[in-house]
Every structure is written in structure tokens, then in C-alpha cells.
């Protein structure tokens, strides 16, 4: 998904690192290229605007222009801001309660059912005993699919008789978990082809009935900025605690993955990277930023130079205090 974006950003940043000393004009040229690259990748335009402003302010304000490692240090600024852009909110999976209830919500076709099974497998690796709940009475194939996935993973699946409401299925799943001594309940709720009032009322009712510690919205990253719109609509109806981006192994431009957390304020917690039960990755913004920029060697060099406070340049820190923007800490130049 990120290959084209990655190639373009690497080319732009390589033009800086290859020069060493750079001017303010060089930074402006690079910022224009990065802006166009992000917009073409379908990143939200407000996110792009704010990102470019922050990077430029730091690159110019750090007074590194003209130093031997100026280009490398600009790359470090871009990297850190990309991590900040991706890393909104707390991403740890909450598992309080006995049982801990996790509700998966989203539109049909987003990958909710397969994600439910993947998440169950993930919690088993954490030492949990999950129960899957097939809470989509409108699409019988969803229950059959979940049951098949559960059997393959040796994880029980709770199903209810035809005609049972989604809320009652969810309640029954929690009760079944207590009987079976299962400490985690993962509810695969019903979806719709499009957002409608009935869907939102239903997931709100489930939330009120079983009080999930996590309500995770599963969104198809291939849908681009539509994924952001879907997330905003769901967040208006139910207190979402996190996002699961599916199909990130596809060939879309990747803009939704870069901007959805920043636009919605909801953290991305997992990435779906394929159809297999183990194709669910815990989301690490620093790893994704490193993958996109592909400049680990340059970042390592800059970090070492910052630690040494090398003479002839003004060392600066991109460490964050209290989760804010990177601060610039100048050291006197040694002439």
C-alpha cells in the first residue's frame, strides 16, 4: 500500500541528505514536494497542511541550515512528525473485567468477521481465553464463517437462535463466557452496506447493554478517505476506543492510514495484513514511519550526533515532553 508514497518521499529526502549543507530555499522545495506527495497519496489536506507547517518551522527554527548534517537532521524531523501523525492516542489493548468485552463494529465488507478471529488468536497469545460471539443475525453466512474460523483456532463461538436481537445475542455471549470460564468476549456485531440510523442505534444499544472495554471500528484501508468519513460517523454514535485498518496489504495509496487517526483522534491499534489468522499486526507508528521513509541508517547517524552534541552545529532534541510537539533545545556553537 505504501510503496509509491515511500518511493516519492525517499527521493525527495535523499536530495537533502545527499547535499549536506542546505538553505531555506532547499527546505521550501522539499516541503512542496512532500506536500504534493502526501496529497496524491490521498492524505487529508488539513493533515498535510499542518504536517508541512510543523516540519518547516522546526527545520528553519532549529538553526541547522548550513551545518554539515543539515539534510540528515531535516529527515529526522520529518520522521518524528510522521510518527506523531500516526501515533495519536493510547494504542494498548484494554482487557479489564471478567470477562473483558471487546465489540467490533463497522460496515459490511470491512473484514469484521475475519478480524474477530484474528483478534481472538492475538488474545490467546496474551494468555487469555476468548469466546467469539456471532452477533450478526442479518447475514447467516457471517455466523457460519466465524464458527469455521473458531474451530480452526480451537476457540468456541457463541451463536443464538434465529430471531434473537443483536443486543440479546451480545448479552447471551457474555453470560456464556462466564459459564465457560472464558475471560475475554469478542463480539462480531452486525454491519450494513452503508451508514444508517438503524445501525448506529443498534451498536449504541449493544454498548449500553454489555459495556465493552474496547469498541474497535474495523475499516477497509482500501476505501481511502471514505474510511475517515466512516470513522467519524461511527464515533458520533458510540465511544470508539480504537481502529483496525484492514487490507493494508492492498495496492491503495495509503492516505487513509496516514490521516485517519489525526482527523478522528481515535488511535489505530491493529493492521490487517492478509487473510490468514495470524495476519493481524499490532500497530507501531515508529515502525511504519521507518518503513515509509526507509532511512534507518540516516536516522541512526543523526541520533548519535545528537547524543554527542557534536561541535560546529547546534544540536537539537526531538524528544517530546508531555506528548506535545518536538521541542528544539539549542546548544551554543563551538567556534
Q: Assess contact for 217 and 240: CB atoms under 8 A.
A: yes
Where along the chain do the CATH 1.20.120.140 domains lie?
Answer: 3-88+288-308
Tell me which fold the domain 3-88+288-308 belongs to: 1.20.120
100-282 classified as CATH 3.30.750.210: no
pLDDT at position 223, please? 80
CA-based R_g, the chain, Å: 23
Q: Which residue has the higher pLDDT, 119 or 43?
A: 119
Least trusted range by pLDDT, from 48-57, 67-76, 226-235, 263-272: 67-76
Residues of the chain with CATH 3.40.50.300: 100-282
Q: Provide the pLDDT confidence category of residue 206 given band limits of 50, 70 and 90.
A: very high
* Strand pairing class (214-220; 242-246): parallel
Instruction: From 197, 127, 206, 214, select the one nearest 166 (Cα to Cα).
Output: 206
Per-residue confidence band for 109, with pLDDT thresholds at 50, 70 and 90: confident
Rounded Cα gap, residues 274 and 118, in angstroms: 10
C-alpha grid cell for residue 299? 536516522
User: What is the secondary structure of 244-259 as a DSSP string?
Assistant: EEE-TTSSS--HHHHH
- Cell 515502525 belongs to residue: 287
Q: What is the pTM of this model?
A: 0.82
The burial class, CB within 10 Å (0-12 / 13-18 / 19+), for 277 is: middle
Q: Span 81-98, mean pLDDT?
A: 89
In this structure, what DSSP letter does residue 320 have? -
Asked whether the predicted pLDDT for residue 307 surpasses 70, the reply is no
Q: Judge whether residue 301 has pLDDT over 70.
A: no
Residue 153: Cβ within 10 Å count: 17
Q: What angle do CA 277, 152, 100 make, to 5 degrees?
A: 70
Q: Are strands 214-220 and 184-189 parallel, antiparallel or unpaired?
A: unpaired
**Mean pLDDT, range 39-64, rounded to an integer:** 86
Mean per-residue pLDDT, 283-302:
72
Tell me which DSSP letter residue 221 carries. Answer: G
Amino acid at each position: 500500500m505504501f510503496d509509491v508514497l515511500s518511493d516519492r518521499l525517499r527521493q525527495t529526502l535523499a536530495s537533502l541528505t545527499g547535499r549536506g549543507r542546505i538553505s531555506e530555499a532547499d527546505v521550501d522545495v522539499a516541503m512542496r514536494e512532500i506536500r504534493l506527495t502526501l496529497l496524491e497519496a490521498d492524505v487529508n489536506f488539513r493533515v498535510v497542511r499542518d504536517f508541512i507547517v510543523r516540519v518547516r518551522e522546526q527545520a528553519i527554527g532549529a538553526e541547522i541550515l548550513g551545518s554539515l548534517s543539515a539534510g540528515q537532521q531535516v529527515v529526522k524531523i520529518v520522521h518524528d512528525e510522521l510518527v506523531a501523525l500516526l501515533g495519536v492516542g493510547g494504542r494498548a489493548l484494554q482487557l479489564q473485567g471478567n470477562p473483558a468485552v471487546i465489540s467490533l463494529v463497522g460496515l459490511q465488507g470491512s473484514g469484521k468477521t475475519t478480524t474477530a478471529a484474528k483478534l481472538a488468536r492475538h488474545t490467546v497469545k496474551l494468555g487469555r481465553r476468548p469466546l467469539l460471539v456471532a452477533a450478526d443475525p442479518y447475514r447467516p453466512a457471517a455466523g457460519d464463517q466465524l464458527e469455521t474460523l473458531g474451530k480452526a483456532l480451537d476457540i468456541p463461538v457463541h451463536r443464538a437462535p434465529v430471531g434473537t436481537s443483536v443486543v440479546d445475542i451480545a448479552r447471551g455471549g457474555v453470560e456464556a463466557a462466564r459459564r465457560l470460564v472464558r475471560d475475554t468476549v469478542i463480539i462480531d456485531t452486525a454491519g450494513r452496506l452503508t451508514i444508517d440510523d438503524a445501525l448506529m442505534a443498534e451498536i449504541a444499544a449493544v454498548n449500553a447493554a454489555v459495556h465493552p472495554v474496547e469498541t474497535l471500528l474495523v475499516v477497509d484501508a482500501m476505501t481511502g478517505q471514505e474510511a475517515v468519513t466512516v470513522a467519524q460517523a461511527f464515533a458520533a454514535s458510540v465511544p470508539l476506543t480504537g481502529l483496525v485498518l484492514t487490507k493494508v496489504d492492498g495496492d491503495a495509496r495509503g492516505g487513509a492510514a496516514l490521516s485517519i487517526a489525526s482527523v478522528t483522534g481515535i488511535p489505530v491499534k491493529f493492521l490487517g495484513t492478509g487473510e490468514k489468522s495470524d495476519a493481524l499486526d499490532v500497530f507501531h507508528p515508529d515502525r511504519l514511519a521507518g518503513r515509509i521513509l526507509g532511512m534507518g541508517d540516516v536516522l541512526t547517524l543523526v541520533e548519535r550526533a545528537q547524543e554527542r552534541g557534536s561541535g560546529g552545529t547546534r544540536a537539537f532534541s526531538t524528544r517530546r515532553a508531555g506528548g506535545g510537539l518536538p521541542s528544539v533545545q539549542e546548544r551554543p556553537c563551538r567556534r
